[in-house]
């Protein structure tokens, strides 16, 4: 009877939350006297995954349990980015006050080397680092999700994975957006027999997608834990796929994959405290670096989309991305000068040449010398009523990764090797440049832009957020934070309004439609800026803490995700 009542309660909540961002009336669950927050919240890129996270919270799980359940669910219902064959990052604030960063980024195979994507003349071989098995690094998602669950969760693998297994085994009704995405990639899917078996046809929104092979893999993980993926039958299937497709991931690579727990990056902005992801993510350092620059200016003196503010933020972006290209990589292989790059004094010094009336050509900006010392990614945010907060960003890099499904195992492999600097001065698929700090080495983790972030106000949680978007992740998170802190916008406005981006090279402001009016564009052109309109970028899934422990959540209008608060 107890379980029946809980199930009915959950259905009532889903009914009230069918509008993406409407919260459930506070009376539904009532006040929990001994808990930090009255409610819990989940915001992710897919409605089904969000509902699974909420179900786990309602069954008594904590935010880590729910985040792991959402992660496995996204591997089923959001195959363009949710994954078993990729990697990512957790940033967690625990109820006891500890802050944790979990790095489950992919690792270069033992047989990888810095010239592996170059021909005999030193030229980059087209598509070799992006399509097919050689593009794959050793996946970390399964190890990372299980590590988080076992160390910080409260539920068993079976309890948090049962929903994802059911969706894979019995199918789910696909949304029109997913059908369109699959159809748009059909040409690449047909290049690989294993992928063609599952996705080698046209799909329609509303039809049921069943993935028996993926369900089998999930059951192996449920029953055997990490060994169910990195050893035994699934490992056999991965290695066999590598041999068929010219990849280099070996049994030894899989068996030796390790998750790393790292110290979070910390900073402040106008009195707000920020915790975010350290390297091998560039996102945390770049975000703090950008905010340290902007803190020296009163953005709110001008309109949000004024020429003055866009000019200022773009000039900050181009300098930060220049330094990203030179100094950021895997800290286990390269001495990243973290303390220097997140220093407020360093930010002031590096921005001392700012001209408020004139754009600086990117060709005139070089990475500063420091004595050394898809878009397919997805983010989700989870908060429980006990005080645990989780920001997770995970990826297989490009949409559907390297386009190869492991035959008989049902999941896409990543193409994360392209996130290394495959040749100095040659941009990756996101146009980002790199150098020695991010060159390919065996067991090294490629640099990422993922920026899962938690913000505190007066020592209390205020905002948890992150986004997909390749190089635009950092600026998407930045745009959102500035709009909330400097301009007092609501969570919905801050996320849904148009965005802009600059990354040093190409030397252009990438803008979403309707960002600029004619007068502002004219003024920016006079300053020396150039523009390129791009398709909508970023998919922020965020949770905000209001007064008295009340939560508000929002899933970006650019996607088809869902946010639920109870």
Q: Which residues are catalytic?
A: 377
Q: Is the peptide bond before 496 cis (omega within 30 degrees of 0)?
A: no
Q: Say if CB 277 and CB 91 are below 8 A apart.
A: yes
| Closest of 352, 80, 303 to residue 203, by C-alpha | 80
Q: Cα separation of 389 and 361, whole Å?
A: 41
| Sequence-ordered list of residues with C-beta below 8 angstroms from that of 505, at least 6 positions apart, any chain | 362, 427, 431, 433
Q: List the structure tokens of 89.
A: 């990052």
Q: Say if CB 80 and CB 183 are below 8 A apart.
A: no
At 405 the three-state DSSP class reads strand
**Segment (H or E) for 215:** helix 212-224
Sign of the Cα pseudo-torsion (27, 28, 33, 36, in order): negative
Helix 63-77 to helix 141-152 angle (10° resolution) is: 160
How many CB atoms within 10 Å of residue 368?
Answer: 15
Exposed / middle / buried, residue 494 (Cβ in 10 Å: 0-12, 13-18, 19+): buried
Sign of the Cα pseudo-torsion (346, 482, 25, 8, in order): negative
Q: List the structure tokens of 69.
A: 């359940």
Q: Cα separation of 16 and 255, whole Å?
A: 46
How many CB atoms within 10 Å of residue 171?
Answer: 16
Q: Say if CB 400 and CB 376 are below 8 A apart.
A: yes
Q: List the structure tokens of 473.
A: 């992740």
Q: Say if CB 452 and CB 393 are below 8 A apart.
A: yes
Q: Say if CB 283 and CB 275 are below 8 A apart.
A: no
For 33-56, letters b (16+ CB in 10 Å) and e give eeeebbbbbbbbbbbbbbbbbbbb
Q: Cα separation of 213 and 233, whole Å?
A: 12
**Measured between alpha carbons, how far is residue 15 from residues 11, 51, 233, 482 in Å?**
6, 11, 41, 33
At 359 the three-state DSSP class reads coil
Largest CA distance in the chain: 72
> What is the gyration radius of the CA atoms in the chain, in angstroms?
22
How many residues appear in the chain? 566
Q: 169 pairs with which residues across the strands?
A: none
Phi and psi at residue 437, in whole multiples of 5°? -55, -25
């Amino acid at each position: 009877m107890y379980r029946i009542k809980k199930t009915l309660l959950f259905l009532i909540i889903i009914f009230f939350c069918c509008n993406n961002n409407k919260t459930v009336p506070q009376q539904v669950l009532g006040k929990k006297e001994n808990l930090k927050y009255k409610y819990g919240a989940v915001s992710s890129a897919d409605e089904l995954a969000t509902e699974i996270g909420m179900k786990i919270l309602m069954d008594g799980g904590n935010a880590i349990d729910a985040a792991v359940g959402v992660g496995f669910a996204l591997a089923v219902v959001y195959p363009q980015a949710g994954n078993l064959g990729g990697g990512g990052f957790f940033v967690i604030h625990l109820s006891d006050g500890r802050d944790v960063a979990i790095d489950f980024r992919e690792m270069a195979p033992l047989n990888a080397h810095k010239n592996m994507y170059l021909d005999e003349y030193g030229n980059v071989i087209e598509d070799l680092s992006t399509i097919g098995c050689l593009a794959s690094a050793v996946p970390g998602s399964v190890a990372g999700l299980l590590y988080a669950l076992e160390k910080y969760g409260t539920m068993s693998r079976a309890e948090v994975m049962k929903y994802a297994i059911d969706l894979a085994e019995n199918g789910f009704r696909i949304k029109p957006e997913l059908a369109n995405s699959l159809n748009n990639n059909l040409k690449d899917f047909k290049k690989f027999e294993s992928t063609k078996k599952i996705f080698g046809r046209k799909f329609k929104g509303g039809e049921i997608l069943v993935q028996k092979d993926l369900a089998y893999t999930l059951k192996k993980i449920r029953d055997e834990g990490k060994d169910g993926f990195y050893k035994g039958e699934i490992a056999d299937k991965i290695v066999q796929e590598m041999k068929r497709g010219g990849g280099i991931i070996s049994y030894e690579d899989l068996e030796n994959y390790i998750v790393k727990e790292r110290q979070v990056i910390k900073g402040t902005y106008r009195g707000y405290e920020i915790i975010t992801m350290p390297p091998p993510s560039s996102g945390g350092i770049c975000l703090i670096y950008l905010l340290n620059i902007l803190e020296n200016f009163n953005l709110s003196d001008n309109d949000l989309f004024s020429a003055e503010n866009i000019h200022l933020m773009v000039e900050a972006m181009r300098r930060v991305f220049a330094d990203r290209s030179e100094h950021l990589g895997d800290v286990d292989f390269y001495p990243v000068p973290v303390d220097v790059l997140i220093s407020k004094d360093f930010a002031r010094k590096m921005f001392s040449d700012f001209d408020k009336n004139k754009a600086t050509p990117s060709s005139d900006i070089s990475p500063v010398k420091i004595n050394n010392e898809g878009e397919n990614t997805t983010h989700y945010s989870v908060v429980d009523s006990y005080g645990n907060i989780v920001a997770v960003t995970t990826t297989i890099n490009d949409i559907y990764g390297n386009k190869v499904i492991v035959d008989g195992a049902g999941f896409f492999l990543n193409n994360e090797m392209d996130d290394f600097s495959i040749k100095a001065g040659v941009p990756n698929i996101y146009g980002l440049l790199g150098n020695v700090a991010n060159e390919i080495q065996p067991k090294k983790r490629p640099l990422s832009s993922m920026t899962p972030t938690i913000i505190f106000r007066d020592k209390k949680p205020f905002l948890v957020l992150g986004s997909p978007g390749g190089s635009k992740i950092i600026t998407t998170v930045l745009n959102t934070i500035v709009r909330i802190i400097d301009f007092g916008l609501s969570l919905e406005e801050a996320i849904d309004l148009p965005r802009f981006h600059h990354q040093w090279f190409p030397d252009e402001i990438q803008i979403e439609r309707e960002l600029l009016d004619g007068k502002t564009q004219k003024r920016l052109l006079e300053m020396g800026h150039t523009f390129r309109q791009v398709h909508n970028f970023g998919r922020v899934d965020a949770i905000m803490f209001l007064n008295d422990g009340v939560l508000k959540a929002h899933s970006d209008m650019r996607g088809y995700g869902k946010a639920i608060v109870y």
